[in-house]
Structure formats: C-alpha cells, structure tokens
Amino acid sequence: MNSVDLTLENFQSVFIETSKEKLVMIDFWADWCEPCKNLMPILDKLAVEFQQQLVLAKVNCDEQQQIAAQFQIRSLPTVMLVKDGQPLDGFAGVKTEGEIREFIKQHLPAPEEALLTEGLALYQAQDFTGALPLFKQANELSPERHDIQLLLADCLIELKHVDQAKSIVSAIPLVAQDQNYQSVLAKITLAEEAAESPEIMALEKALAATPDDFDVKIALAVQYQQAGKAEQALELLFTVLSQDINYGDAKKHYLDILASLPEGDACGPLYRRKIYGLLY
C-alpha cells in the first residue's frame, strides 16, 4: 500500500501507526480545485517511486472537513509530511516534480542508515558474516563516518581478519578516537596477542630449523589462518605450491583461505593471480 484515502475511520491507523514505519505525505485536495488536480498525478508518481519509504494519504477536504479543520488547512492544495505521529514539514500550492522529490528526500533517512540498522541487528545476533557486507556498503556510501568504520573493523576482528581491521582503524584521525575507537583498538591488541599461540610459536621454531619442510609450512599456514593471519598463511602455502602444485592439502587450504577472504581484502587479488599463474 503506497496510497490511501484518509478518513476519520482510518486516521489513527495511518497518522499514528503507519507514520511510525514510513514517512506519510498527506495531500489535502478538493474536486473543485484545479491546481489540486494538476498536483495529484505528480504525488501519485512520487508515491510509487518512494514506496519503500513513503505512503501517500489523500484528504478530500469537502468530505473530511474535520480532518482539514484539525490541521487548520487554509488553502488548497496543501501537502504535509508526517513521521511518528508528528507533522514535519509542508507546502501550499503546486510545485514541480523535481521540487517535490527534493522536498521528500530531505526528510528520508540517509541510504546508509538502513544498511547500518540491518547490519547492527545481524551483528548483535553474532551473524558477523551477514553484517560485514552491509557495513561495507554503508561505509562506501558515507566514507566520512568513523562510527561506521569502527563497526566494520569490529566485525572484521570477529571474523579473524585482524590485519584489515587494523588498516581501517589506523586511518581514523585523532579527533575521532573516542571510547568506541579505544574499544576496537583493544580488541585488535587482544587478537594479535592471541595469535602468538604456543602452537604457532612451536611451528615457527620448527620451520626455522627445517625451512624446506612442506608439512611444517602447511601446518603453520593452517594455524596462521585460524589466528586471522590470512596473508601470511597464503604466502607460506604459495612457497609450497610453487615447488609442488599437488603437494598434500596445500592447494585445498590455499583455495579455502582465498574463498574466506572478505570482499575488498587487498591480498585476495594478488594471491589469486599467483595461483592462476601456476595453474594455467
């Protein structure tokens, strides 16, 4: 439903309930009003264009005099925007389609807000894989918003892409380094400390002693991946594959890591090109 005739019977539903979910644009008109008839097709068209965010409510002022009186309508046509049961803005007379479109857009949430809301719901449900692309899209739409950057970095940490999170956080200026920034920075520090596990340290020691041992390289690469060090894991595996493309599970681990990289990860294209160079 993107258009409705507003009456006393549905006034509560439209003016209060519907306006909690969408912007309601009320068109006050009458049959005898020629400018009203010129304006209505424009409003109908825009109601379809913005149907995800807006509902058009039409008030025939001859038939719904109580509603017109309640809003103190003095001239026709009059258009009013309502949100959460409260009038936001309005105009009287006829405007062009472009003018009304801009009038509507001024009161719609920014595109990144819808992505942010959806992403936060998934993040709070610990669906970090689902939240990540939404935060990325929101960041692309509004790259100056550091709150979105911090949410993106936080999500990357949860998915063990610590290096990418660190890169985002390092670009945030001093003026924006608030409590949320400090919290994400602390998570990065903890993640980096956790990455220095006894298993990793033991395998690194073994590799230093036997630098040509493919099995140690593969085992260490697996540990690196689990610790969020995807680039280091890929580099180790590539040293194996460049000498023996079919050695053990090296190729499988390599391709699995590539598939797990978040969209936009800088090392993805590089290591895809490297493996394609060996395969083809």
**61 in active site:** no
For the chain, the distance separating the N- and C-terminal CA atoms, rounded to the nearest angstrom, is 55
CB distance 185 to 169 below 8 Å: yes
Write down the catalytic residue from 36, 61, 155, 267.
36
Q: Which residues does residue 55 pair with via DSSP β-bridges, in sequence order?
A: 24
Q: Is 93 exposed, middle or buried (0-12, 13-18, 19+ CB in 10 A)?
A: exposed
CB distance 241 to 247 below 8 Å: yes
Q: Which residues does residue 89 pair with via DSSP β-bridges, in sequence order?
A: 81
**Alpha carbons 244 and 206: distance in angstroms, whole number:** 21
**155 in active site:** no
Catalytic residue annotation: 33, 36
